[in-house]
Amino acid sequence: MRAERHGRQRMRGWRAQGIPAPEQTSVAQLVWLLLLITVVSAPHLRTLPFWISAIIFVAAIWRMGAAFKRWPMPGTILRGTLTLGSALAVGFVYRQISGLEAGSALLLIMLALKLLETHSARDRSLVVLIAWFVLFAAFLREQSLGSVPLLAAGVVAGTVALLQAARNNSQVMTPLAALLLTARLLMHAVPLALALFLLFPRLPGPLWALPSGAQNGRTGLSSQMSPGDITSLAQSSEAAFRVRFDGTPPDRSQLYWRGPVLESFDGRRWRALPDGARRQKSGRPLPPNPADAPVYSYEIMLEPHHQRWLLPLETPLSWDIAAASLSPARELLSARPVATRSAWRGRSVATPRFRDARAPEQATREVSAARNPRSAALAAEMRAAAGSDRAYLRSVLSMFRQQAYYYTLEPPPLGDHPVDDFLFRTRSGFCEHYASAFALLARAAGIPARVVTGYQGGEPNPLADYWIVRQSDAHAWTEVWVDGYWQRYDPTAAVAPQRVDAGMAAALPGSVNTELPLLGSSPWFGRVAFGWDALNAQWDRWVLAFGPDQQSALLGRLGFTSPSLRDLALVCAATVGIILLLFTWLTLRNHGAKPDPLEQSWQYLCKRLARLSRPRKPGEAPTEYAAVLIAAQPELAAPLGSLTALYLRLRYEGIPDRAEVLRFRRLVRQFRLPPAGARG
């Protein structure tokens, strides 16, 4: 306690003279730390509660005040209370203190509080290391191209701050010198990073289990629907996936991207059949039908949606993901949920019907007797009038087209008999309402029918060779089984043909949806937006979607066909090793300092002598060091004196003779430290 007080007084004494004590943090170092904290916390602040930003801000101001205006730093008790209090607050707000969100919050708070007790080099380095952690959390949160500049700034600031923090405060580098050194260090790191990125063994799926927070509220498609679900999707302009066609793409109205197929209907809600409830086995790709329909091959870059649907162009013939399979309802499913950006290639025909001679599932015929009685009556009446199934379906479509049915994204709520309500009362809705009503009318007339959801259309990027399919292109349509064929009917197209021909924005000219980007409203903005999306697509395709498949393809091109994990690890280790050796060689060559035998022996001697009392200080000349040792151990005078003299003679008094150097080396080896008892 006394000693501590003494220490603190000395510290105050230093400060009073306006001199930074050797261990203290200089203003330049502090500024770098604050800059680093600003940069690394920026990506988090958008999602974290306001009070955390406030804590960081107050801590930064306080620390600056302490540096510039000599404000007192908070004492142990206050710091302890703050630490405990904010940890509790985080636990209270998030109900946990780990996980991405809560963990980032906690790290940021601790970073800010650590700033308030930062004096020594060790404290500074600790702050920098925590900041690196926060930066890494930001990377977990967001890996898009847009986040790269800020992450890169964080890496630069982190490196500079680390360089400065580790220095004695009298040796702080000028900003320019520090930045140049950082640039050099990072340049050295680039080849290593590249090698590790390309060659480090990739595991299928994300390398780390993303904390649960990342999945919340991101579901694009669902295995159930009751009219109203898709409204929220329709308002988001986020990309669902991007697709590149080899050759001419099909007409826009043929672009049906097939997602979940909903077969069970209870009169209000559509559901996918669970696998166990099916009679049919898995489907397999059927030959193109009709045989002369054009086959389109394409590559899809899928945004992670944490579901299994791969969203092929209807109807898929083949795909390059081995683990993917076609469900009985002809949904293309990957083996596990799509949790990372991934790319796959497929071939499809864009026909509205395909043959399936198997009897449809019983569920596709079921009509709930308790609900929607008027619809059932209408169906019976119209079927009787039509004469054939096909004629009946056509008459339903023309009913939608000719009577007063409206397309809107903000339909009025529906009551207990939703289809009845829709058909006879509200008469307005969007794709789900029409698909649902059409399928029910078909079933009520005894025709098997199901609802297919997915995306329709897309937007070609004029600056690059691909289409963007957005969440706002989500769609639902109907499939009806007639004469051994599943035939697609899109009742929405009957009501609002523009929806299918030109997209959502064209279908709703009156109700301008403000959340849709105003692409096309200003040509310049449109170009920028498309250019940015094209860049993003490249980033996603080449960087984020680089997974095990792409890696083995790359290695295949290098001559390693189907490498095992062990081969990969070996190739990776070898490449990294070669790069490191190359750097070492370059460094040594540039400095011209091959450690010559004389210098080696001297270093060795110093290392041994260090055990006697203390290591040689960097600026300590040989005789000075020897004098210190001899003062402590007079019996060393003779041997050490002659060794030092010989070393000085060889090193500084002429070009050393090889034999003499060898003699020095021998003498150093023969030199015996005094016995342990004599040390001290």
Partner 1 sequence: MARNVTALANTDQLQQARQLGEQVNREVGQVILGKQTEIELAFTCLLAGGHLLIEDVPGVGKTLLARALAAVLGLSFRRIQFTSDMLPADIIGMSVYEQDNARFRFHPGPVFAHIVLADEINRSTPKAQSALLEAMEENQVTLDGETHPLPVPFFVIATQNPLHQAGTYPLPESQLDRFLMRLGLGYPAEVLERKLLRGEDRRLLLTDLQPVIDSAGLRTLQAAARELFLSDALLDYVQALVRYTRQSTLFELGLSPRGAQDLVMAARCLALLHGHPGVHPEDVKAVFAAVAGHRLQARPGSAAAVRDPARLVLESVPIP
* Region binding partner 1 by CB under 8 A among candidate stretches 131-139, 252-260, 466-474, 619-627: 619-627
Q: Of all residues in the chain, what percent are helix, strand and coil, respectively (each to 5)? A: 55, 15, 35
Residue 475 known to be catalytic: yes
Q: Which long-range contacts (CB under 8 A, 24 or more apart) does 624-630 make?
A: none
Classify residue 244 by its DSSP letter.
E
If one asks whether residue 31 binds partner 1 (CB under 8 A), the answer comes out as no
If one asks whether residue 229 binds partner 1 (CB under 8 A), the answer comes out as no
Provide the CA 179 distance to its chain's centre, in angstroms. Answer: 28
| Parallel, antiparallel or unpaired: strands 406-407 and 428-429 | parallel
Strand partners, 422: none
If one asks whether residue 617 binds partner 1 (CB under 8 A), the answer comes out as yes
Query: Residue 355: which of 315, 391, 320 has the closest Cα?
Result: 315
Residues contacting 122, CB < 8 A, separation 6+: none
CB of residue 651 to partner 1, shortest distance in Å: 6
Question: Would you state the structure tokens that stand for residue 77, as one six-digit string?
Answer: 């008790």
Residues contacting 36, CB < 8 A, separation 6+: 127, 128, 131, 154, 157, 158, 160, 161
If one asks whether residue 648 binds partner 1 (CB under 8 A), the answer comes out as yes
* Region binding partner 1 by CB under 8 A among candidate stretches 555-563, 567-575, 578-586, 642-650: 642-650
If one asks whether residue 600 binds partner 1 (CB under 8 A), the answer comes out as no
User: Tokens 């329909």 — which residue?
Assistant: 293
If one asks whether residue 458 binds partner 1 (CB under 8 A), the answer comes out as no
- Cβ contact 130:111 at 8 Å: yes
Query: Residue 337: which of 232, 424, 215 has the closest Cα?
Result: 215
- Cβ contact 14:136 at 8 Å: no
If one asks whether residue 655 binds partner 1 (CB under 8 A), the answer comes out as yes
CB of residue 232 to partner 1, shortest distance in Å: 57
Burial (CB count within 10 angstroms: exposed 0-12, middle 13-18, buried 19+), residue 307 = buried
Q: Which of 11, 28, 317, 506 binds partner 1 (CB under 8 A)?
A: 28
CB of residue 177 to partner 1, shortest distance in Å: 7
Residue 572 known to be catalytic: no
Binding mask 560-599 for partner 1 (x = CB under 8 A): ----------------------------------------
Nearer to partner 1 among residue 19 and residue 193 (C-beta) = 19
CB of residue 5 to partner 1, shortest distance in Å: 24
How far separated are the first and last CA of the chain, in Å rounded? 29
If one asks whether residue 619 binds partner 1 (CB under 8 A), the answer comes out as yes
If one asks whether residue 16 binds partner 1 (CB under 8 A), the answer comes out as no
Nearer to partner 1 among residue 569 and residue 648 (C-beta) = 648
CB of residue 118 to partner 1, shortest distance in Å: 19
Nearer to partner 1 among residue 176 and residue 322 (C-beta) = 176
Nearer to partner 1 among residue 23 and residue 549 (C-beta) = 23
Q: Which of 173, 192, 286, 570 binds partner 1 (CB under 8 A)?
A: 173
Q: Please tell me which residue in 417, 421, 475, 533 is annotated as part of the active site.
A: 475
If one asks whether residue 653 binds partner 1 (CB under 8 A), the answer comes out as yes
Question: Would you state the structure tokens that stand for residue 221, as one six-digit string?
Answer: 């498609």
Interface with partner 1: number of residues (CB under 8 A): 33
- HSE at residue 265, side-chain half, CA atoms within 13 A, is 35
CB of residue 654 to partner 1, shortest distance in Å: 4
Residue type, 202: R
Strand partners, 115: none
If one asks whether residue 23 binds partner 1 (CB under 8 A), the answer comes out as no
Q: Which of 76, 170, 561, 670 binds partner 1 (CB under 8 A)?
A: 170
- The H or E element containing residue 109 is helix 100-115
Q: Go through the chain and tell me how many residues it has.
A: 680
CB of residue 161 to partner 1, shortest distance in Å: 16
Nearer to partner 1 among residue 14 and residue 245 (C-beta) = 14
If one asks whether residue 649 binds partner 1 (CB under 8 A), the answer comes out as yes
CB of residue 535 to partner 1, shortest distance in Å: 40
Residue 606 known to be catalytic: no
* Region binding partner 1 by CB under 8 A among candidate stretches 15-23, 112-120, 328-336, 665-673: 15-23
If one asks whether residue 174 binds partner 1 (CB under 8 A), the answer comes out as yes
- Cβ contact 530:522 at 8 Å: no
Q: Which of 15, 19, 80, 577 binds partner 1 (CB under 8 A)?
A: 19
CB of residue 600 to partner 1, shortest distance in Å: 13
Using N-to-C axis directions, what is the helix angle for 658-670 and 597-610, rounded to 10°?
20
- In angstroms, the Cα distances linking 196 to 175, 499, 576 are 30, 47, 7
Query: Residue 477: which of 220, 219, 225 has the closest Cα?
Result: 225
Residues contacting 141, CB < 8 A, separation 6+: 43, 44, 47, 100, 104, 214
If one asks whether residue 181 binds partner 1 (CB under 8 A), the answer comes out as no
Q: Please tell me which residue in 305, 421, 431, 533 is annotated as part of the active site.
A: 431
Residues contacting 602, CB < 8 A, separation 6+: 622, 647, 651, 668
Q: Which of 394, 427, 651, 665 binds partner 1 (CB under 8 A)?
A: 651
CB of residue 15 to partner 1, shortest distance in Å: 13
DSSP of 561-575, one letter per residue?
Answer: -S--HHHHHHHHHHH
> What does the alpha-carbon distance between residue 366 and residue 355 come to, in Å, rounded to a whole number?
22
Q: Which of 171, 514, 562, 590 binds partner 1 (CB under 8 A)?
A: 171
Nearer to partner 1 among residue 522 and residue 603 (C-beta) = 603
If one asks whether residue 623 binds partner 1 (CB under 8 A), the answer comes out as yes
If one asks whether residue 643 binds partner 1 (CB under 8 A), the answer comes out as no
User: Tokens 């509200």 — which residue?
Assistant: 426
If one asks whether residue 216 binds partner 1 (CB under 8 A), the answer comes out as no
Q: Which residues are catalytic?
A: 431, 475, 490
Q: Which residues bind partner 1 (CB under 8 A)?
A: 17-20, 22, 28, 169-174, 177, 617-624, 648-657, 659-660
